[in-house]
Amino acid sequence: MPTADHTPAGRAAATAADITPESAADAPEVHVRLFAAAAAEYGADAVRVRARTLGEALDQLSADGGERAAAVIGRCSLLLNGVASTDRNHVLVDGDQLDVLPPFAGG
């Protein structure tokens, strides 16, 4: 069974299929910061979630925050460790930081 490569290059190449099934308690802990409408609808501006992939983290946030929070989170931009990300299969590691940024208007 292959072992996960947690170097930056290895993490970028990893997919959810590379992760063996584990309990949620064994999943990496990710620090999440929610901004503006995302924080207002979720009811907090910072939380920690345990998830193996970006998609799992988003699903957990949506489930925990309720229907209105899920709708806002679904429209948000995401920064994972300061880099824009849309890959729901991106493999997470302990200490990753996910920023949830609602769409901004302006010019």
Asked if residues 55 and 16 have their Cβ atoms less than 8 Å apart, the reply is yes
Asked if residues 78 and 88 have their Cβ atoms less than 8 Å apart, the reply is no
Can you tell me the distance from the alpha carbon of 96 to that of 98, in angstroms, rounded to the nearest whole number?
A: 7
Q: pTM for the complete prediction?
A: 0.76
Question: Tens of pLDDT along 7-50?
Answer: 444 444 444 444 444 566 899 999 999 999 999 999 999 999 99
Given the DSSP bridges, would you call strands 29-34 and 97-101 parallel, antiparallel or unpaired?
parallel
Sheet holding 97-101, edge to edge: 46-50, 29-34, 97-101, 77-80, 83-84
Question: Tens of pLDDT along 44-80?
Answer: 999 999 999 999 999 999 999 999 999 999 999 999 9
Asked if residues 19 and 28 have their Cβ atoms less than 8 Å apart, the reply is no
